[in-house]
Copies of this chain bind each other. A is one copy, B any other.
């Protein structure tokens, strides 16, 4: 194993530990969903049992408009987590994003940690790579490799500029990245999506990304996991100045709800928009959809249960999120996602 690979692996494993054990949410910034409230409809005129959450993503059906956001891979422990995530996603009919596949490209022996098709034969699986790697030697062939080894339905490129800055070993050359993404989209055979990692994608950028050929955008906004907070814990001893600088960025980022509202104003209705960042229940999820999202992604709020030896705790969480979404829909009388997305029963609290 090269020392670079070793570093990547160690970093990934530290991330899991920190996210599980430390306070990693920002301060002074929230998702903003608490500023929106559904208007209760006391006479919903539907039967609860007829509410359905079905939708589709990348040509495959989903039982619920939900996504397990990209998290992990590369180590034995990550593989256990991924197995739980894939098993339960398949059971419940959610889509699933993998953690960055770079670990497996740099170190083929790590590939098995991302090979989840056997646990999730039917759902959309998304491979994941840092967009910035396109400035560090990665091209269409590495991206194809990421797809092939994971049997994925599409590829997510993550934008994580500030995370890279807060990593002592970070890749921070973001110049000309836009045209490289554009090139990739026009070359590769599978759909390519772009996501942030918790600071959000603003409306104008979402619009430009769709114009340049991406198939979906996941805003991954602020209010949940804050990567300056996560990386802070890693740099503490090694780089005290960076550690302290991270503190000044706890409030950084665009709240998830603002990203969604903005993006939906700027982009066409048929473009697929994913809301994530700070999501932990199905009422928030329903709000995100009512504000314009097509799918809703959950990352950190699933991790503790996913790290459990058996899939039961994770399954309960997914069931709970779905139930909460259904109940919210019942509360406003929306029978399916089309009704939910078109509802005027959401309002800003004044």
Chain A residues at the B interface, C-beta cutoff of 8 Å:
28-29, 34, 37-50, 131, 159, 161-162, 164-166, 170, 172-178, 196, 199-202, 205, 222, 240-242, 244-245, 247-249, 251-254, 281-284, 316, 319-320, 323-324, 327, 330-331
Name A40's closest neighbour in chain B (CB-CB): B199
Contact B172–A330 (Cβ < 8 Å) = yes
Given contacts A37-B251, A331-B161, A331-B199, whether A178 and B245 have CB atoms under 8 Å apart is: no
A214 CB to closest chain B CB (Å) equals 11
A28: chain B residues within 8 A (beta carbon): 34
Contact A324–B176 (Cβ < 8 Å) = no
Contact A240–B177 (Cβ < 8 Å) = no
Contact A205–B41 (Cβ < 8 Å) = yes
Contact B173–A42 (Cβ < 8 Å) = no
Given contacts A44-B161, A240-B316, whether A245 and B282 have CB atoms under 8 Å apart is: yes
Given contacts A47-B172, A48-B174, whether A42 and B330 have CB atoms under 8 Å apart is: no
Residue among B161, B166, B174, B319 making CB contact with A241, cutoff 8 Å? B319
A45: chain B residues within 8 A (beta carbon): 174-178
Contact A252–B38 (Cβ < 8 Å) = yes
Given contacts A42-B161, A172-B47, whether A241 and B281 have CB atoms under 8 Å apart is: no
Residue of A34, A43, A161 with most partner-chain B CB within 10 A: A43
A235 CB to closest chain B CB (Å) equals 11
Given contacts A249-B327, A324-B248, whether A49 and B202 have CB atoms under 8 Å apart is: no
Contact B165–A252 (Cβ < 8 Å) = no
Residue among B29, B38, B174, B245 making CB contact with A327, cutoff 8 Å? B245
A49 to B161 Cα, complex, angstroms: 12
7 A/B residue pairs, CB under 8 Å, sorted by A: A40-B222, A45-B176, A48-B161, A50-B175, A172-B330, A241-B320, A245-B323
A241 CB to closest chain B CB (Å) equals 5
Residue of A29, A174, A196, A245 with most partner-chain B CB within 10 A: A245
Given contacts A48-B165, A331-B252, whether A42 and B159 have CB atoms under 8 Å apart is: yes
Contact B254–A162 (Cβ < 8 Å) = no
A325 CB to closest chain B CB (Å) equals 9
Closest 9 A-B residue pairs measured CB to CB?
A48-B172, A42-B159, A248-B281, A248-B283, A40-B199, A47-B173, A248-B324, A42-B196, A42-B201
Contact A42–B316 (Cβ < 8 Å) = no
Name A326's closest neighbour in chain B (CB-CB): B165
A245: chain B residues within 8 A (beta carbon): 281-282, 320, 323-324, 327
A265 CB to closest chain B CB (Å) equals 15
Contact B41–A316 (Cβ < 8 Å) = no
Given contacts A45-B174, A175-B46, whether A330 and B252 have CB atoms under 8 Å apart is: no
Given contacts A42-B159, A320-B245, whether A165 and B37 have CB atoms under 8 Å apart is: no
A240 to B40 Cα, complex, angstroms: 25
Name A228's closest neighbour in chain B (CB-CB): B327
A173 CB to closest chain B CB (Å) equals 4
Contact A202–B254 (Cβ < 8 Å) = no
A247: chain B residues within 8 A (beta carbon): 281
Name A158's closest neighbour in chain B (CB-CB): B42
Known: A37-B251, A40-B222, A43-B159. 14 other contacts (CB 8 A): A39-B202, A40-B200, A40-B253, A42-B161, A42-B202, A43-B131, A44-B161, A44-B174, A45-B178, A50-B175, A162-B331, A241-B323, A248-B281, A249-B331
